[in-house]
Structure 1
Amino acid sequence: MLRAGMLLALGGAAAPLTGCDLFDREDEPEPPPDPLRPMVDESLGLAAAYRASALAHPDLADRLNPIADTHTAHATELARIVGVTLGSAPAVDPSATAPSAPAAALAALRAREKAAQQSATAACAAAPAERAALLGSIAAARATHQEALK
């Protein structure tokens, strides 16, 4: 009987705590966004640019689509590490446009790749060891893409 009374007393004392702010986490600040999140968006943007150029210049599609696929794969892996879902993005971003001349399209893609390689290199240098290998691989792929577009 003593046990039942103690349990009842403890249960009664704990019940009021469930409705108070003691367990609310609303005052906790949101964790900062992952520093690699912009690289997910950058990779998706590169893939969309390649696909838009391939659509605008079908004669370049065999050359550009594999690179677009590589950028999509990078975005997928980065999203997995960052902990975001990519969702079902369209194969081509409707806002992505390509220059009308094939040479200009290739030059624009090379310029984007160069800027993206620089951001991947900077991210690699700042990343912890468990992320550096992936980022180094992405930076190297982006350098290779620049050469493939010449």
Structure 2
Amino acid sequence: MLAAGAGAGLALGGCGLFDDDPAPPPPPDPLLPLRDAALALAGTYDRAVAAQPALQARLAPIAAAHRAHAAELDRILDPPAPAPSASAAASAAPDAVGAPTVAELRAAERQAHKDAAAACRAAPADRAALVGSVAAARACHAEALR
């Protein structure tokens, strides 16, 4: 009887019931880079406006659109994405040093459009509409910067 109890204990010990190792964290959501890119683009526009305030009326709405996209992506990310770190927010803060030109913004939007279109093709159906609208908006932003 004692041997049977010891055998059962060994069997339970190997099944993970008594393992103290925590479960691995879930992988990041595949749309997290799209959200991060939207926030980075908004910060890039902020830097451009800080360097050239005359562009405020032209660029601020595009920056706001990128922030709106990031907020909507945050709403559907699984697991929810952490808020950008303070250092990331500081690096996105407006300053005139290294401010992009309108041509550089347009190039960034074109690349961001390609990235969003690729994400749309890979997205499940329940996410494709949102990701597709982000891709379409980025194409429109590039055209607005002509």
Q: Could you tell me the TM-score, scaled by structure 1's length?
A: 0.74
The equivalent of 1:98 in structure 2 is 99
Q: Which runs of 5+ in 1 are unaligned?
A: 1-20, 100-104
**Cα distance, 1:85 vs. partner?**
4.3
1:48–1:91 contact (8 Å) kept in structure 2: no
SS at 1:74 equivalent: helix
Alignment deviations for residues 5-34 of structure 1 (CA, whole Å, 9 cap, x no partner): xxxxxxxxxxxxxxxx72667353222111
Work out which of the residue numbers 103, 109, 113 in structure 1 matches 2:105: 109
What are the within-5 Å matches in structure 2 for residues 23-62 of structure 1?
Answer: 26-62=21-57
Q: Structure 2 matches for 1:1-150, cutoff 5 A?
A: 22=17, 26-82=21-77, 83-86=80-83, 90=89, 93-94=92-93, 97-99=98-100, 105-150=101-146
Number of aligned residues: 126
Is the Cα contact below 8 Å between 1:117 and 1:140 reproduced in 2? Answer: yes
**For residues 91 and 146 of structure 1, do their structure 2 counterparts lie closer, same or farther at Cα, with a shift above 3 Å needed?**
farther
Computing the radius of gyration from Cα coordinates, the structure with the larger value is 1
Distance 1:30 1:84 in 2: 13
Q: Equivalent pairs: percent with the same residue?
A: 53
Contact kept? 2:43, 2:94, Cα under 8 Å:
no
Task: Extract unaligned runs of 5+ from structure 2.
Answer: 1-15
